[in-house]
């Protein structure tokens, strides 16, 4: 079969493909095919050539090509070639799944950035739809950033959020309470009219946080607060002279 | 003074309490008595409990911490809990637990600032 | 001692579980907490979820110790589908006095103990992905909870 394929190479390639790139791809494949023909681990050896071929032609074209070769070549091992094809496609599919999962993670990562705005101020802009998984990931990330930076104020901006339902509202309340437990203040900004409307209708009460109209007023508020804290700290008389006992 | 479950440090008239042991139920109760004794014997006006090494704070530990703070308050002493681990804070918040009568801070400096402002 | 337990409609086969803990004194609460923590860590749960699982077990063990005097905690890893993410199942079982009003106990803010917030059961339910409780006065209580591993 090997000799047959090599001797009729040009003819087969003409029938298998029209444009030059595909012809070249089929030619390479048939040479590789002839090479591994008759080997014991034929199917395994064929995977690499099949996978190379798939970079140039579609699955449909490859499938049609295998059908054609089956009629042209006596004893063409169609079953093994198909097996190799199916396994290659399966592996490709797995790789795609992994890639999709990675992209999903990257997207989640990108959509919940945490930015250090000022020495003691973190900004967490929330963009898009919050589901419970994303909300939990965001809460974990935000709390860790607070613990790392020891930020005193966290501004959570929800301008990019289109809706808040009871579940997301509860998650936000939990996140805000957790931030308070760490000893930082939360300023919530960017609540749109339709969100304010649903919040009140649903009875979600963000009473544990300071709410400001926008980022600018949130920043102004934080800076004023720091200035006030510093003032209190300034006149720090020596204290605690009395020794124990 | 009786043996201490947690070694403490006196700074000005504040007491720093770094918890570096597993908080089982009997330990936390002993700690409560120890702190109340120290408040009165060492003339403490503020307690700073550092829980950065505590991996789990459940509802009972929270209860005893709040209770201790309320008792300390009755003796004229404020309580600040500092450096709660982020995942512990999340867990407490999700359970709906509030630490009544305590202030929280994310650093020792922050805790001292709070106490300074309270005087 | 380690026989299969049967409690109404729940059969517990001890051999199915990775960890079986007997809770009978105060120290066992802290022990169960540590065991749960290392088990969840070993199974690659996120740090936050490890803490939630350890906290839930701490609550369950304390409930056993406080109200039933003794009982068991069973912990196992569950694989829903091969290749899919896993979950941890925890069962707390005792033959104590049982809970008179389960609904009220689970709603939170209610306790029969003087030294408690009454947030144990309601807290566990909020920390876990699934929560089941069955209690009969005079017979005992069983709580089954599950936490799925989240991608992080």
Would you write out chain C's pLDDT as a tens digit for each of its 152 residues? 344 455 555 677 878 889 999 999 989 999 999 999 999 999 999 999 999 999 999 999 999 999 999 999 999 999 876 666 799 999 999 999 999 888 888 888 778 777 777 788 999 999 999 999 999 999 999 999 999 987 65
CB-based contact C26 B97, cutoff 8 Å: no
Q: Are B81 and B99 in contact (CB under 8 A)?
A: yes
State the pLDDT at residue A242: 47
Q: Are C75 and C88 in contact (CB under 8 A)?
A: yes
Q: How far apart are CA B6 and CA B20, in angstroms?
A: 8
Please give the residue range of the domain that contains residue C29.
5-148
Q: What is the CATH number of domain A112-231?
A: 3.30.750.24
CB-based contact C29 B24, cutoff 8 Å: yes
Q: How far apart are CA A159 and CA A166, in angstroms?
A: 18
User: Domain of B77: which CATH number?
Assistant: 3.30.750.24
Please give the residue range of the domain that contains residue B49.
18-107
| B37 belongs to a structural domain | yes
Q: Which residue of A has its CA nearest to C51?
A: A140
Kindly list the residues from chain C whose CB atom is less than 8 angstroms away from the CB atom of residue A133. Answer: 150-151
With a CB cutoff of 8 Å and minimum separation 6, the contacts of A39 are A45
State the pLDDT at residue B67: 95
Nearest to C141 by CA among C89, C68, C57, C69: C68
Kindly list the residues from chain C whose CB atom is less than 8 angstroms away from the CB atom of residue A137. Answer: 150, 152
Kindly list the residues from chain C whose CB atom is less than 8 angstroms away from the CB atom of residue B25. Answer: 26, 29-30, 62
| B117 belongs to a structural domain | no
State the pLDDT at residue A177: 94
Kindly list the residues from chain B whose CB atom is less than 8 angstroms away from the CB atom of residue C115. Answer: 60, 63-64, 67
Kindly list the residues from chain B whose CB atom is less than 8 angstroms away from the CB atom of residue A139. Answer: 90
Question: A228 in contact with B at a CB cutoff of 8 Å?
Answer: no
Number of domains composing chain C: 1
State the pLDDT at residue A104: 75
What is the least distance, in Å, from the CA of C124 to any CA of chain A?
A: 15
Per-residue confidence in pLDDT tens, chain B, 119 aa:
567 889 999 998 999 999 998 888 889 999 999 999 999 999 999 999 999 999 999 999 999 999 999 999 999 999 999 999 999 999 999 999 989 999 999 999 999 999 998 87
State the pLDDT at residue A188: 94
CB-based contact B55 C54, cutoff 8 Å: yes
Angle, helices A78-111 vs A132-149, to 10°: value is: 50
Q: Which chains touch A (3 or more CB pairs under 8 A)?
A: B, C
Q: How far apart are CA A141 and CA A135, in angstroms?
A: 10
Residue to mutate among A140, A141, A182, with most C CBs inside 10 A, is A140
State the pLDDT at residue A243: 47
Q: pTM for this structure?
A: 0.75
- At A143 the three-state DSSP class reads helix
State the pLDDT at residue A233: 67
| B76 belongs to a structural domain | yes
User: Domain of C54: which CATH number?
Assistant: 3.30.565.10
Neighbouring C-alpha atoms within 13 Å toward the C-beta of A60: 0
Tokens representing C66 are 């406080």
Task: Quote the DSSP letter at residue B15.
Answer: E
State the pLDDT at residue A205: 85
Question: A192 in contact with B at a CB cutoff of 8 Å?
Answer: no
Q: What are phi and psi of A79, to 5 degrees?
A: -60, -45
Q: What are phi and psi of A73, to 5 degrees?
A: -110, 130
Q: Which residue has the tokens 């923590």?
A: C37
- At A16 the three-state DSSP class reads helix
State the pLDDT at residue A240: 47
Residues of chain A scoring pLDDT < 50: 238-245
CB-based contact B104 A232, cutoff 8 Å: no
Number of domains composing chain B: 1
| B47 belongs to a structural domain | yes
């Amino acid at each position: 079969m090997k000799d047959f394929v090599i001797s009729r190479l040009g003819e087969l390639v003409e029938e298998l493909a029209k444009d030059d790139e595909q012809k070249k791809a089929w030619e390479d494949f048939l040479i590789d095919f002839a090479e591994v023909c008759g080997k014991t681990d034929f199917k395994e050896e064929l995977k690499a050539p099949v996978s190379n071929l798939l970079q140039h032609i579609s699955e449909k074209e490859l499938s049609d090509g295998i059908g054609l070769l089956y009629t042209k070549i006596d004893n063409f091992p169609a079953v093994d070639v198909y097996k190799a094809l199916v396994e290659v496609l399966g592996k490709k599919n797995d790789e795609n799944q992994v890639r999709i999962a990675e992209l999903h993670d990257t997207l989640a990562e990108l959509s919940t950035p945490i930015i250090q705005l000022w020495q003691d101020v973190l900004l967490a802009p929330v963009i898009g739809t919050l589901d419970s998984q994303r909300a939990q990931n965001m809460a974990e990330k935000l709390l860790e950033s607070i613990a790392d930076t020891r930020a005193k104020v966290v501004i959570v901006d929800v301008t990019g959020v289109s809706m808040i339902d009871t579940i997301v509202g509860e998650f936000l309340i939990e996140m805000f309470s957790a931030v308070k437990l760490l000893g930082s203040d939360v300023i919530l900004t960017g609540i749109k009219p339709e969100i304010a409307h649903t919040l009140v209708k649903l009875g979600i009460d963000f009473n544990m946080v300071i709410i400001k109209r926008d980022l600018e007023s949130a920043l102004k508020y934080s800076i004023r607060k720091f200035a006030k804290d510093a003032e209190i700290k300034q006149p720090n008389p020596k204290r605690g002279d009395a020794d124990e006992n | 003074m009786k043996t201490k479950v947690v070694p403490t440090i006196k700074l000005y008239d504040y007491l720093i309490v770094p918890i570096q042991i597993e908080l089982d139920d009997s330990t936390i109760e002993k700690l409560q008595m120890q702190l109340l004794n120290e408040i009165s014997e060492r003339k403490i006006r503020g307690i700073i409990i550092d829980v950065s090494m505590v991996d789990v704070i459940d509802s009972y530990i929270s209860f005893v911490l709040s209770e201790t703070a309320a008792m300390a308050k009755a003796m004229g002493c404020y309580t600040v809990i500092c450096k709660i681990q982020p995942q512990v804070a999340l867990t407490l918040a999700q359970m709906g637990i509030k630490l009544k009568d305590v202030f929280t801070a994310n650093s020792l400096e922050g805790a001292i600032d709070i106490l300074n402002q309270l005087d | 001692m380690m026989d299969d337990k049967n409690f109404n409609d729940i059969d517990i086969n001890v051999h199915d579980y990775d960890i079986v803990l007997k809770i009978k004194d105060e120290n066992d609460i802290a022990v169960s907490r540590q065991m749960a923590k290392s088990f969840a860590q070993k199974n690659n749960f996120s740090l936050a979820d490890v803490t939630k699982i350890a906290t839930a077990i701490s609550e369950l063990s304390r409930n056993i110790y406080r109200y039933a005097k003794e009982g068991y905690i069973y912990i196992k890893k569950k694989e829903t589908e091969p290749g899919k993410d896993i979950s941890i199942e925890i069962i707390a079982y005792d033959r104590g006095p049982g809970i008179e009003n389960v609904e009220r106990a689970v709603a939170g803010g209610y306790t029969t103990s003087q030294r408690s917030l009454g947030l144990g059961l309601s807290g566990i339910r909020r920390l876990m992905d699934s929560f089941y409780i069955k209690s009969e006065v005079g017979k005992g209580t069983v709580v089954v909870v599950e936490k799925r591993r989240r991608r992080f």
